[in-house]
Amino acid sequence: MAGKIFTHTHRVTYAECTVGNHIYHARYLDLLEAARGEFCRYVGVSLVQLQEQDAIFPVIECRMEFKTPARYDDVLTIQVWVTTAKKVRLNFAHRILNQRGEVVLEAETFHACTSLADKPKRLPEALIVGLTPFLAGGSE
């Protein structure tokens, strides 16, 4: 990882937890989505703006590796950076840390840029420019 890392903070809610007091595994997808949305806002292009320009980014694959459980009221740091931003592909790496600095989750989400009619299209230039400093290994 050579690029900058965006960080987003989240406090675990009771609603996100199982009776065993750990985040239900599928809820991590919501956390990753929230962090990616904030990341795009941070680089100056909101997902709504992109949608208004007929560009959406459906997840086409996701990999998650659970390391240690996050529990109710934990304060999580969600790190996000870009692993691929070229042609129609946009991939994000994620790492979630708890308040003790322990890795809770490592994940990567794989996206295709499409129109609202599900036709593949090139990544918007403004998005590429904003994301380039966060690209692992430099620009592609």
The residue extents of the domains of the chain are: 6-134
Top-level class of domain 6-134 = alpha beta
pLDDT at residue number 3: 81
- Could you tell me if 90 and 123 are in contact, meaning their C-beta atoms sit under 8 angstroms apart? yes
- Could you tell me if 120 and 88 are in contact, meaning their C-beta atoms sit under 8 angstroms apart? yes
Rg, C-alpha atoms of the chain: 15
The per-residue pLDDT for range 75-85, each reduced to its tens digit, is: 999 999 999 99
pLDDT tens for the chain, 140 residues long, are 458 999 999 999 999 999 999 999 999 999 999 999 999 999 999 999 999 999 999 999 999 999 999 999 999 999 999 999 999 999 999 999 999 999 999 999 999 999 999 999 999 999 999 999 999 865 44
pLDDT at residue number 139: 43
- Could you tell me if 136 and 86 are in contact, meaning their C-beta atoms sit under 8 angstroms apart? no
- DSSP structural state of residue 114: B
> What is the spatial distance between Cα 88 and Cα 133, in angstroms, rounded to a whole number?
19
